[in-house]
């Protein structure tokens, strides 16, 4: 017959043969219901059970040293560093830093919320509010609102707005990283906190815009390369 010459079998015989072969070659698997992967013989574990047994073995954590480095940097910078700054400080990919920080339960403590709680009545007395000479800040209603809260208004001179963007950016960093989480502070305590932070900002805090260096280190590098 044609199928015999080509080494083939009819469809019916092929199915019968396949079933008979499966019945002869199927191993006698023990009942493993309710057993842990360690209690199941290695020859009878499924792929999922083998993977589960592999991950449940008592093996040293391969990331233990890296996690210790992350925890040390996180504590040294008082929780100000997130995944990107920690990755920049260690020269890692930020995805690795994010994964290990997630396993350690660490996240940056700054800028968690975009809005601040409303201030209580009387807390703004004597506060100086600096702005440019925009029409909103010169409006009568706005100035009366400041007066009702005993706040002093300050404005830049005309055509002197070049430093607005960098200074506003720095003030935002200063407030969120320096004293927003410090609670109630006296004037002397606040001044000391700001002085300490300015020194930290200039000498230790890496800036992602300055080749991942602190401002002093970046300026020193420029001076040496000149």
Measured in degrees and rounded to the nearest 5, phi and psi for residue 10 equal -60, 160
Residues 172-202 pLDDT 10s: 888 888 888 788 888 898 899 999 999 999 9
Per-residue pLDDT at 50 exceeds 60:
no
Contacts of 100 (CB under 8 A, 6+ apart): 63, 66, 67, 70
Average pLDDT, the chain: 76
Contacts of 154 (CB under 8 A, 6+ apart): 128, 129, 130, 131
Reference 90, options 204, 212, 183, 6; nearest CA is 212
Q: Which two tokens stand for residue 177?
A: 């990283």
Q: What is the torsion angle, in degrees rounded to the nearest 10, for the CA atoms of residue 66, residue 209, residue 197 and residue 111?
A: -80
> Residue 34: which pLDDT band, with cuts at 50, 70 and 90?
low
By residue count, the chain amounts to 226
Q: Is the backbone of residue 126 left (phi > 0), alpha (psi -120 to 50) or beta?
A: left
Residues 116-164 pLDDT 10s: 455 554 555 677 887 778 788 888 998 898 888 888 888 877 766 666 7
Q: Comparing 8-12, 124-128, 186-190, 203-207, which segment has the lowest mean pLDDT?
A: 8-12
Per-residue pLDDT at 107 exceeds 80:
yes
Residues 70-93 pLDDT 10s: 999 999 888 888 888 899 888 888
DSSP state of 195: H
Q: What is the torsion angle, in degrees rounded to the nearest 10, for the CA atoms of residue 167, residue 168, residue 170 and residue 173?
A: 170
């Amino acid at each position: 017959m044609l199928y015999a010459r080509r080494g083939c079998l009819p469809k019916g015989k092929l199915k019968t043969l396949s079933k008979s072969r499966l019945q002869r070659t199927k191993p006698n698997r023990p009942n493993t219901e309710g057993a842990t992967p360690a209690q199941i013989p290695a020859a009878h574990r499924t792929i999922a059970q083998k993977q589960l047994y592999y991950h449940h073995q008592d093996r040293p954590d391969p990331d233990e040293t890296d996690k210790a480095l992350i925890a040390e940097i996180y504590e040294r910078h008082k929780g100000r560093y997130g995944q990107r700054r920690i990755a920049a400080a260690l020269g890692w990919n930020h995805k690795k830093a994010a994964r290990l920080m997630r396993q350690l339960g660490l996240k940056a403590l700054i800028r968690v919320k975009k809005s601040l709680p409303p201030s209580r009545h009387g807390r703004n007395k004597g506060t100086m509010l600096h702005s440019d000479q925009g029409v909103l800040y010169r409006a009568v209603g706005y100035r009366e609102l400041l007066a009702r809260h005993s706040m002093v208004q300050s404005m830049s001179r005309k055509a002197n707005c070049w430093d607005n963007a960098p200074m506003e950016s720095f003030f935002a960093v200063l407030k969120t990283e320096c004293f927003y989480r410090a609670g109630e502070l006296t004037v002397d305590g606040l001044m000391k906190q700001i002085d300490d932070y300015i020194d930290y900002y200039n000498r230790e805090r890496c800036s992602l815009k300055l080749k991942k260096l602190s401002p002093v280190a970046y300026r020193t590098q420029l001076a040496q390369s000149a």
